[in-house]
Chain A
Amino acid sequence: MMFTEQISNQRLQSAMGSCGFLNPTMTPHTSMLDQPEMEDVLLQKLGVRGWGRTHYFRNVFQSGWGEHGNGKSLSPRAFEAFLRFLQAVQFPAMDKEPSVFLTDQGTIELCWEDTRGASVQVEFRRNDAEYFLEHSGEEGTMDYRSLLALAQKLSA
């Protein structure tokens, strides 16, 4: 599905401004990305499909979207962490690009496979990231002060 045509730059910028996007006071290690830089990171790391889905989740899925009408809109803090993680992580060179999903709690999930073909998953929540490595069965959480360490740990 291609959603991107429906979303104008103006709307994206408006949405970014209204949610305090990339406010350096929100979390440590915040990097100030302007709109073109953000687009570059999303496109380079996720491809067109992931880029489009990310924008769609940010701009179209408003509160009440979920299965029982209680889905939350994407948390700006979760999105901020997601973007910083994407900047730092190196995905393996595989045929399938990473997948992006929105959860009912307004968090964002990133899934890909490592070089063995085992699943790697990270869910960016409001205050921390939950991860899962299928290869070792390791599950855990890391707060956002350790986000770069998590990106290193999960990089190819």
Chain B
Amino acid sequence: MTLKRDENIVRAVCSDKFDGMRLSPSLFAGSNTSVSRLSLISLENHWELFRRHVQKPPHRTLERIAEINVGQLEDVGGNHNPPTQLSVEEDPLAWNQAHAIIPQKISRGLANAILKKLAVHKSD
């Protein structure tokens, strides 16, 4: 099922995709991008979830959590040249019932535009 525009989603940002200065555009480039729903799991609990299941210390550590609103994501796609219809689809997994995916292929240019709309959270 497609997520509604008023939902917010998050994506784990590990050390391979963040160097302390910039986020990697490949964070959103490509297809079937994994995200997770804040409506089902709080941001605070996502830190714990991602630390347990996404990061692989010591070499790949969770550095940030990037957040975007689904409607905002759809608008970025629609306003891009060429326009790209983006959606977020439910895709619950055993380790994360809030898991969802952006199925469409996202170009480098569009990924760059998405990065600019992200709210990037740092662990307390």
Please list the residues of chain A having a beta carbon within 8 angstroms of any beta carbon in chain B. 1, 49-50, 53, 56-57, 60-61, 65, 67-68, 96-97, 99-104, 109, 111, 119, 121, 123, 130, 132, 134, 137, 139
Contact = CB atoms under 8 A, between A and B. Distances in A.
Contact of B22 (A60, A111, A130): A111
Given A121-B112, A132-B25, A57 B16 contact: yes
Interface in B88-118: 107-109, 112
Contacts of A104: 26
B17 interface: yes
A121 B16 contact: no
A96 B20 CA distance: 11
Contacts of A137: 81, 109
Contacts of B26: 101, 103-104, 109, 123
B122 interface: no
Chain B binding surface, main DSSP class: mixed
A134 B111 CA distance: 11
Nearest to A68: B34
Interface of B: 12, 14-17, 19-22, 24-26, 34, 54, 56, 59-60, 81, 107-109, 112
B112 A101 contact: no
Contacts, number: 62
B16 A134 contact: no
8 tightest Cβ-Cβ pairs between the two chains A and B:
A101-B24, A99-B22, A132-B108, A103-B26, A60-B59, A102-B16, A139-B109, A99-B19
A85 to B, nearest CB: 16
The interface residues of chain A, by DSSP majority, are classed as mixed
Contacts of A139: 107-109
Contacts of A100: 19
B37 to A, nearest CB: 17
